[in-house]
Structure 1
Amino acid sequence: MTTADSLQQQEVSQMNSAQPYCGVIGLGSMGLGMARSLLRAGLPVWGHDVHKDVTAQFAEQTGQPLRPLAEQAARSDLLFIVVVNADQACEVLFGEQGIGKHLRPGSVVLLCATVAASRAREIAAHLAEQDVQMLDAPISGGAQRAAMGGLTIMASGPDSAFAAAEAGLDAVAAKVYRLGDQAGQGSQIKLVNQLLAGVHIAAAAEAMAYGIRQGCDAQALFEVISHSAGNSWMFENRVPHLLAGDYSPRSAVNIFVKDLGLVLDSAQQDVFPLPLTATAHQMFKQASASGFGREDDIAVAKIFPGIDLPSHRAEG
């Protein structure tokens, strides 16, 4: 199909009320996969990223013309916000150049960032003042599942927003959990997920470091544990990065500095103890302070002294 044919098909699809016009803000490892999943499902979609070359490349893939962000927002039925944190989401929507004021009444924002439940409620309330609905819809599954349209979404919000967003949710997710009609409920469950994910990664790093220090062959250690009771999804998913000496970020150390910090902050409000979370958080903070914050989260293993981790194996 030529670019002109693709453009014509996109414009026709947009005019079809059965096909919501979708936007994705944040074309990182997760957002780009989601945008491509929407496109693969036949939905008209545009994308935007702070890196202009990424935005331009995606527009070329879709055949969509590059339009001003405010104009794209005004045309959209569904807007996926796939940024790092609540501050970035608020800047996109309500900042000096924010697009929130350009959104059509009745359109739906899907907030996919990991944020505190209180911030999700604040953003939803602000959008409601403009007659825009919001689904508090944090995501889980990693870049590979995002690219396959196989994410898990933990969503809460009004029934009408779920109905309007059904086609978009079906395109990007294998499982959509409806967790209530109020913003904040989805985000709170995502924080529980991040608690477990962060603790499991920290535990996997500590276990591998301990085994290597005691003279175990790293590959053999991984093979045995991944088929034994001590295995976890994070151990099985992240340790291969360590074995390959490949710390290119799929999910970075700094993500868990942020997310476990959110977990601890929310628990502090209720004076609720989270000793394992606090320890894991300190491990990720130490890794970040040591210069590994932008590396893959299994780089937390680098904080352990006196061990030789596997180095990158150059191809060829």
Structure 2
Amino acid sequence: MIEHTAQEAGAGMAADIAEQAAGYERLLAEGLAPIAAVARQVAELSPRFVLFTARGTSDHAALFAAYLTEIRLGIPAGLASPSSITVYGARPDLRDALVVGVSQSGGSPDLTEVVRVARESGAHTLAVTNNAGSPLADAAQLHIDVLAGKERAVAATKTYTAELLALLLFVEGMRTGSGQLDAADRAELDRLPELARTLIEDPTPTQLAARYRFADRLVTTGRGYAYPTARETALKLMETSYLSALAFSGADLLHGPLAMTDPDVPVLAMVGDGPAGRSMSEVLGRLAERRADVLVVGNGAPAELPAHAVRIGTPAVDERFSPLLDIVPMQRLALALALARGEDPDAPRGLKKVTETL
């Protein structure tokens, strides 16, 4: 649900972004035990694969969870195509699978239908929402509340990062089998709220907005855990500044789309400190050859940045946790850029919070 009253343009989105550190604290304090209980139940069920279903911003959180599931649990995971069920009437055999619906509002009819059909076909079902009383939560056997509170702006920010953390806690809880986190992970996650605050207060994204004020097109890229951040960044820029923003994995960017990059098409590259971040070195090198306008975001340390590239550094954390921090400066860039272009990111033209698609 959105609180939207007459106020300064962007005030709602700014307030939502500012609440993310407190949201992490709340989820770690109040949500950890309920999520651990769900993780323990699902671990006992031993699903043979995990299928996530989501739309929009939540789709990027689901993609992050799919990476976690395969890398950390060794269980095949993927994202469902809701229209195969809601439009074509398909009834796939989902026995012994875990189907996870991820939605901030929990009010999307097509996701609710996917979870309902999956449950009828023998799947274990879980809803991850910001609304415990939603249709999606009612349709699933299990539910995780991301505890983000009311969101003021149409463009999702704090609900996205709350979904990321909730899904991370769930997957890591499944990995231990007890639902509890490893001590090292818990210690690092306890630092998360304060690290988020440093990024919320960093003026760099606002200062960089002028660099992209007159851009018509933009590319975002990343690999592994950083790829969902690239996709979410592109979506935020599209829905608040009406930019034509395209997101590619670093590998896909090298296969054709690289041809669109030049000094007039900015590239926002998510580069973390881990295997995926190191694999972005070739991408950055090819972008340098094309004299692309590059912004590198993250805690990775590329051996060489393209000429004229700029950088937004983020705190050094485990690669799994970087998406919970790297998106914050990108949200703030989207906010500042929209305002610089004379737009109101709280209420993007023609958009509403819940898109009803069947």
TM class, shorter-length: 0.3 to 0.5
TM-score, structure 1 as length reference? 0.36
Which of structures 1 and 2 has the bigger CA Rg? 1
Q: Which has the higher contact order (CA 8 A, sep 6+)?
A: 2
